[in-house]
Structure 1
């Protein structure tokens, strides 16, 4: 099932762009897009308008490293929903797989991962456009992937090679990635050594709990069920938590955890379902997060699976639940 033709305008990226001196409302108007889109909680553009906006940025930009500067500052792109989930992945490969699943669920950009005997090639495709993406979109995408490695590892590997369709580059661009760059290529591709896929990315991320308005500070007075629910929440990062993961976090075996839960009169599956729905209700109150993003973050395979589970639990679809509470 294809994602709708809506690409999110990430608030952190727009804020950083404004910090760097760009007049975002004027840029939108210059390509015929109403700046009122910025007032929408879940601001998004269709592919054609999204491309047009970034082409407008390119026309007035004189900094070849602008795309990478959008990844730093006080409002880091690393705090965006998907990058948090990637940072909390076990390995680089798992982070890339989460990125691909997220894109498939919430926006019209597909992430393609091609493994060979020696390399992993990372590309993107657009479902609703045959036109080449603006250079800055390519650069933001490649920069975000490298950003994950740089934030997670003290000696982060660099790409083996980057292939770009464009005919020319300034030297600063090559220096940023520190690898060979091939121009006039058939496609835009970010290439790493296949061995990099197994690099561990274990990353303590308190921002994950802040999404739920909770602290991840342990408490000695917490009962067993509350402890388990907190550990499940810690594992909600784009994948369905397993009993093995939670047991490992509690320093007990899965069998012991099952036995303890049985004594409490509840199964792990029921507890997981309860935590996911409780977390969904919390996230639904945050109007800048789409239902697709919530479904991804809670580890559902698609929006429909999440909607069915939520309606079974609450009697209402996520959209109706949000609308009735005036969060829509």
Structure 2
């Protein structure tokens, strides 16, 4: 289960769900199926795990039946979805500076680095890496969302982006046979070169992009927002007890349930102190434990490498029946029904 402890800001998830709502998708049903709540998403420093993020994509596509949803949602991306990071980019003097600042403050939106910038003699590329992630349908949706968002954010920062600046877009997955004309791709990226079956996903720009000024950038505001960004990163590291508890639960959940006392000891806190810290973040140990168990159950059921009895044991249930009842309470579906549900394939 790669990168299980890595997290993504709920601001990104909230923006995506707002777009989904506008598309007529039942957002509450998505949240129920992946074990998230609106209350949790409204916590300023809250994060979701990478697997929860992927689960959200699976449910969105399953409910819509549209495998190009990642591209379409990315095309609706708004800079305010990046929070303070968005304002840092908006007030950078040039695109070159914006790219450097994105790398510096990327932790504001995710604590796993999947992006990098590659500068060559006649081009600069935004690269989205797939190393360590399963090559499945959710990876396509995530990559489509990211790369379409990059094009839109770049457009918003510098104005109209001509075909001479955006040169090519590469995708790791094979060319979708059902999208032979690539009309959705051309509608979003324009008349550029598209390549599939590539080692990574990337937008390739002319080096002209680096010297382009950011429209309306204010150096005084940049100083203010950079200070806010640094403060938020420090605050996240010092105060986000929910993610620390979630990570300890993941490490401890191996056939028996960890208790609040067990986790408090791991974090060198008293039980009462940990309760108060979680309460201040509008959550509880039981909510976090249930969330981790649901997330792991969904992932294990998708992989089909263990049967229900084995999954029940691993997640600390008394037996397969208890696991099945709880899973249906979580998602509205039995484990068997969940496994039978097919997400549209690329």
Structure 2 residue aligned with 1:186: 199
What's the CA shift for 1:201?
A: 0.9
Note closer, same or farther for the CA distance 1:126–1:43 as it changes in structure 2 (3 Å cut): farther
Instruction: List alignment gaps of at least 5 residues for structure 1.
Output: 206-230, 239-275, 281-293, 308-319
Which residue among 53, 56, 61 is the counterpart of 1:53? 56
What's the CA shift for 1:44?
A: 2.7
What's the CA shift for 1:38?
A: 5.0
Structure 2 residue aligned with 1:18: 21
Note closer, same or farther for the CA distance 1:3–1:304 as it changes in structure 2 (3 Å cut): farther
Contact residue 128 and residue 200 of structure 2 kept, 8 A: no
Which residue among 295, 298, 302 is the counterpart of 2:230? 295
CA distance in 2: counterparts of 1:160 and 1:66, whole angstroms: 23
Structure 2 residue aligned with 1:138: 143
Note closer, same or farther for the CA distance 1:38–1:117 as it changes in structure 2 (3 Å cut): farther
Question: 1:27-46 counterparts in 2 under 5 A?
Answer: 27-30=30-33, 33-36=34-37, 38-40=39-41, 41=43, 42-46=45-49
1:122 partnered with 2:126? yes
Instruction: List alignment gaps of at least 5 residues for structure 2.
Output: 239-273, 283-346
Structure 2 residue aligned with 1:78: 79
Aligned to 1:236, what secondary structure does the other structure show? helix
1:89 partnered with 2:92? yes
What's the CA shift for 1:63?
A: 4.8
Which residue among 145, 151, 154 is the counterpart of 2:156? 151
Aligned to 1:35, what secondary structure does the other structure show? coil
TM-score by length of 1: 0.57
What's the CA shift for 1:54?
A: 0.8
What's the CA shift for 1:191?
A: 0.8
Note closer, same or farther for the CA distance 1:305–1:35 as it changes in structure 2 (3 Å cut): closer
Note closer, same or farther for the CA distance 1:182–1:118 as it changes in structure 2 (3 Å cut): same
Give CA deviations for 1:125-147 in whole Å, capped at 9, x if unaligned: 36863546522221221222222
CA distance in 1: counterparts of 2:58 and 2:4, whole angstroms: 23
1:165 partnered with 2:169? no
What's the CA shift for 1:60?
A: 3.1
Give CA deviations for 1:278-325 in whole Å, capped at 9, x if unaligned: xx5xxxxxxxxxxxxx4277xxxx639997xxxxxxxxxxxx9xx799
CA distance in 2: counterparts of 1:197 and 1:119, whole angstroms: 10
1:203 partnered with 2:138? no
Give CA deviations for 1:156-208 in whole Å, capped at 9, x if unaligned: 23421111122214322123201111112222111111221111114258xxx
Aligned residues: 228
CA distance in 2: counterparts of 1:91 and 1:65, whole angstroms: 32
Contact residue 100 and residue 110 of structure 1 kept, 8 A: no
Aligned to 2:127, what secondary structure does the other structure show? strand
Structure 2 residue aligned with 1:176: 188
Note closer, same or farther for the CA distance 1:134–1:325 as it changes in structure 2 (3 Å cut): closer
Note closer, same or farther for the CA distance 1:60–1:3 as it changes in structure 2 (3 Å cut): closer
Note closer, same or farther for the CA distance 1:71–1:175 as it changes in structure 2 (3 Å cut): closer
Which residue among 208, 211, 235 is the counterpart of 2:223? 235
Higher RCO (C-alpha 8 Å, min separation 6)? 2
CA distance in 2: counterparts of 1:3 and 1:100, whole angstroms: 22
Contact residue 91 and residue 221 of structure 2 kept, 8 A: no
Contact residue 163 and residue 181 of structure 1 kept, 8 A: yes
Contact residue 129 and residue 201 of structure 2 kept, 8 A: no
Note closer, same or farther for the CA distance 1:108–1:154 as it changes in structure 2 (3 Å cut): closer
Contact residue 78 and residue 153 of structure 2 kept, 8 A: no
What's the CA shift for 1:7?
A: 1.2
